[in-house]
Amino acid sequence: MDFRLSFIEFAVEQRVLRFGEFTTKAGRLSPYFFNAGLFDHGASLRRLCQFYVQAIEAGGIAFDMLFGSAYKGIPLAAGIALTLAEKGRDLPFAYNRKEAKDHGEGGLLVGAPLAGRVLIVDDVVSAGNSARESVEIIRAAGAEPAGVAVALDRMERGQGDHSATREIEANYGLPVIAIASLDHLLGFLQHHSNLADHAAAVRAYRQRYGSLPDDSSN
């Protein structure tokens, strides 16, 4: 099985990918919800980060370090760095706080100093707001964002008619790597009879909030 479909299957098994009615960060009512915070055991987080590394290696992006977007990107950056180190590539990583610390080391950033080409890691791309914040943080530190790696690309519109993924690529010149996309999720649902009832709701959501049919990022 392709690693992207294997990832969807793994997320469903771990109940990280769930179906029902959920309000997203963008304020949209979604028939599915992906919560990377539920990869909350060592073994599941390790497997998740292995999927990330597969996608990152397949994407072929050159980068010097990892940046995890608070909060869900924090364990991801650490776990991906560990997985890469196990494969013989030892890279620094950093992450941000939501609020600046005014004592101790202070500031918004924790970990290695941001330098060189920085790969942003997060859980999903929905409207793209988190990626935009990360790009601003990295550039403000004098480093250069190299790309964005996420677990799931929801393939939703960003601030305009195109997908948030395409907007990130167009506005910042950054490639976006996803382990899997909404299209992979729909393909998975259509081939699993016990989940087939959810496929219609997901397709309807895709029609309402998805990017234009000719969007080249899809």
Give me the residue spans of the domains in the chain: 3-209
| Averaged pLDDT for residues 50-76 | 96
| pLDDT attached to residue 118 | 98
Q: Using CB atoms within 10 A of its CB, is residue 129 exposed (0-12), middle (13-18) or buried (19+)? A: middle
Whether the predicted pLDDT of 190 surpasses 90: no
Return the SS3 of 8. helix
Whether the predicted pLDDT of 195 surpasses 80: yes
| pLDDT attached to residue 211 | 66
Return the SS3 of 92. coil
Nearest-10 Cα torsion for 82, 64, 132, 27: -20
| CA-based radius of gyration for the chain | 17
The encoded tokens of residue 176 equal 């976006």
Whether the predicted pLDDT of 103 surpasses 80: no
| Averaged pLDDT for residues 98-118 | 79
The encoded tokens of residue 94 equal 């950093």
| pLDDT attached to residue 214 | 45
| Averaged pLDDT for residues 128-151 | 90
| Averaged pLDDT for residues 1-9 | 93
Contact 113/138 with Cβ under 8 angstroms? no
| pLDDT attached to residue 216 | 43
End-to-end CA distance of the chain: 21
Q: What sections of 87-181 are H helices per DSSP?
A: 129-140, 164-172
Whether the predicted pLDDT of 101 surpasses 80: no
Whether the predicted pLDDT of 95 surpasses 80: yes
Q: How confident is the model at residue 215 (pLDDT cuts 50, 70, 90)?
A: low
Catalytic residue among 25, 41, 87, 101: 101
Determine the length of the chain: 218
| Averaged pLDDT for residues 178-187 | 94
Q: Write the CATH number of the domain with boundaries 3-209.
A: 3.40.50.2020
Active site residue 101: yes
Q: What is the pLDDT of residues 147-172, one digit of tens each?
A: 999 999 888 876 666 777 888 888 88
Q: What is the pLDDT of residues 19-58, one digit of tens each?
A: 999 998 778 899 999 999 999 999 999 999 999 999 999 9
Active site residue 162: no
Per the prediction, the chain carries an average pLDDT of: 88
Whether the predicted pLDDT of 62 surpasses 60: yes
| Averaged pLDDT for residues 52-70 | 96
| H/E element, 146 | strand 144-153
pTM of the shown model: 0.88
Pairing of strands 107-111, 93-101: antiparallel
| Averaged pLDDT for residues 61-90 | 96
The encoded tokens of residue 79 equal 């776990």
Angle at 128 between CA 120 and CA 174, to 5 degrees: 50
Catalytic residue among 103, 162, 191, 192: 103
